[in-house]
Structure 1
Amino acid sequence: MKMAVAGGTGCVGKLVVEQARERGHEVVVISRSGGVDLMTGAGLDDALRGVDVVIDVANVSTLSRKASVAFFETETRNLLAAEQRAGVGHHVLLSIVGIDRVDSGYYLGKRRQEELALAGPIPVTLLRVTQFHEFAAQMLDKVPGPVKVAPLMKSRPVAASEVATELVRLAEGPAQGRATELAGPEVLTMASMMRRLAKGKLVLTVPVGKAMANGGVLPTGDFHRGKITFEQWAKSR
C-alpha cells in the first residue's frame, strides 16, 4: 500500500513511518520540512497523489483552547479536502482516551478534530490512546531547573512504539469508525512516572481538574492492553 503520514517527523510519526516501511509499504512523510504545510494546504495535492491511506498524527503543543481548535480544525479540513481530490480511500486518526470527559483547551481541539473526521468525506478509523510513556519525559523538559511540576492525574501510559504498531495495523484494513481504544498495562500517576525519570529533582503535583484526578483519561470500556510497562520503557531509554 501507499501510505501518507501527516506529522511523520514527530514522536509517534517517526515510528509509524519506520514500521510501515518495515512492513513493505511505500510511505510519504507529510511535514513542513518536506515542503508540505497542513495549515495552508500547500503541497498536499502532490504529496497525496496515488496514496491509499492517510495516518494523521500531526500535533500542536498548546494549552490554549483557541490555538488547539484553530490548529486541528484547519489541518483536518485541509487534509480531508486534499484526500477527497486525490481519491484517498481511508483516513486513520490518532486521538486521546477521555477527551469527551476532560474540558482542557487542548482536548477541545482534539474533540473538534474527531467531529470533522467522523463527519468527513473519507471513510475513517479513529483510534483513541492513553498518554505515551514519553509524555513524562516531555513534562520534565518543559520547566527548567531542579523543581518540576506534575499534573495530578492517573493514566495507563502506553509505549509510542505500540501506538505506531496499532495505527499501521488499522491502516492496512478497512475503515471501522471508532476502533477499540489502546491503553498501557498499568495505572500510574504522572508524578510517579516523572519521579522515576527525574534523577534527584523535586517533582511537585498540581491539580488540573477533578476529571483528570479522578481517572477521566482512563479507558472505561473495552480496550486493547499494551505490553510494555513504564519501567521497561524507562530502562531502555
Structure 2
Amino acid sequence: MKIVVIGGSGLIGSKLVRKLGEHGHEAVPASPDSGVDALTGEGLDEVLAGAQVVVDVSNSPSFADEAVMNFFRTSTGNLLAAEEKAGVGHHVALSVVGTERLADSGYMRAKVVQEQLIKDSGLPYSLVHATQFFEFVRSIAQAATDGNTVRLSDALIQPMAGDDVASALGRTAVGAPLNGMIEVAGPEQFGLDELIRKGLAFQGDPREVVTDPDARYFGALLEKGTLLPGPDARLSTTRFEEWLPLNPPPAK
C-alpha cells in the first residue's frame, strides 16, 4: 500500500514512515524538505500519484493565531483537493484530545477548522485525537517560563510517547476509514504541573515549577479535566518513568 505522510520528516512523521515501512508498506515522507509543500500546493500532485492513503501530521511553523489558522486552512484545503484529484481513498489526520474544549487557544481553533474541512470534503477520513507527547515536556515548560519560574495549571493530563502516537496512526492508516474520530492516550494521569516538574528534574533543569490554577496553556484556561480523553480512548502502554531514561536531553 502506498501511504503518503505529510510532515513525514518531523517527530511523529518520521516514526510513522519507519513503522509503516517495517510492515511492508510504501511509506513516502512528504515535506518542504522533499519538495512537497501543502501550504503552496507544490509537489502534491506528483507525490500523491498512486497513493491509497494520506496521513497528515504536518504542523504550522508559527503558533501565532493568524498564521496558524492560515496554515491549517490553506494546507488542508490544498491537500484535500489534490487527494480528490488523485483518487486517494483514505485521509488520516492527527489532532489533539480536547481540541473542541479549548476555544481560547488560537492553535486549537485552527485545528477545529482543519477537522471541519476534512469532514465536509466528502472524502473517506479518520481523525486521531492524541494527548500531549512526552517529547514536548521542554516546549510546554518553555512556553510557561518567566525568568526561572514555570507557572502551570494542575489540570490533569494523560500524556503518551511519540512512538505510541505513530503506532496508533499506522494502525488507523491501514484500516478502513472511520469517518469519525478516535482518541488515544497514555496509561497514566498526571497534573500538568507534576508532569513538567518530573521531566525537568530528570533532565537536571533548575527551573522551579509553580502550581497556578489560573496559568494558561497555550492561551487557554484549563478546567481539571479539559485535557483528558473520554472513556473509550485507546490506551498505550509506555509509562513516563520508562520513557525518560531512554530519551535523555541533548548534550549541552
TM (norm. structure 1) is 0.92
Task: Report the residue type matching 1:121 in the other structure.
Answer: G
**Counterpart Cα distance in 2 of 1:66 and 1:146:** 27
Task: Report the residue type matching 2:188 in the other structure.
Answer: E
Residue 142 of structure 1: CA displacement? Answer: 5.7
1:74 aligned partner: 74
1:208 aligned partner: 216
What's the Cα RMSD here?
2.0
2:22 aligned partner: 22
**Counterpart Cα distance in 1 of 2:157 and 2:113:** 23
Corresponding residue to 1:235 among 242, 245, 249:
245
Residue 13 of structure 1 pairs with residue 23 of structure 2: no
Runs of 5+ in structure 1 lacking a partner?
A: none
Cα deviations by residue, 1:140-163 (Å, 9 ceiling, x for unpaired): 456889725253132100111111
Note if contact 1:60-1:71 (Cα within 8 Å) is conserved in structure 2: yes
SS of the aligned residue for 1:24 comes to coil
Task: Report the residue type matching 2:166 in the other structure.
Answer: A
Instruction: Decide whether aligned partners of structure 1 residues 143 and 180 sit closer, same or farther in structure 2, where only a CA change above 3 A counts.
Output: closer
Residue 65 of structure 1: CA displacement? Answer: 2.6
Residue 218 of structure 1: CA displacement? Answer: 0.6
2:165 aligned partner: 163
Runs of 5+ in structure 2 lacking a partner?
A: 248-252
Note if contact 1:80-1:121 (Cα within 8 Å) is conserved in structure 2: no
1:180 aligned partner: 182
Identity across matched positions, percent: 38
Query: Bigger shift: 147-156 or 222-231?
Result: 147-156
Cα deviations by residue, 1:41-62 (Å, 9 ceiling, x for unpaired): 0111001111110000001254
1:224 aligned partner: 234
2:138 aligned partner: 137
**Counterpart Cα distance in 1 of 2:227 and 2:42:** 35
TM (norm. structure 2) is 0.87
Note if contact 2:183-2:230 (Cα within 8 Å) is conserved in structure 1: no
Residue 175 of structure 1: CA displacement? Answer: 0.5
Instruction: Decide whether aligned partners of structure 1 residues 120 and 135 sit closer, same or farther in structure 2, where only a CA change above 3 A counts.
Output: same
Task: Report the residue type matching 1:236 in the other structure.
Answer: L
**Counterpart Cα distance in 1 of 2:125 and 2:28:** 19
Aligned length: 237
Note if contact 1:154-1:212 (Cα within 8 Å) is conserved in structure 2: no
**Counterpart Cα distance in 2 of 1:45 and 1:60:** 21
Task: Report the residue type matching 2:235 in the other structure.
Answer: R
**Counterpart Cα distance in 2 of 1:113 and 1:189:** 29
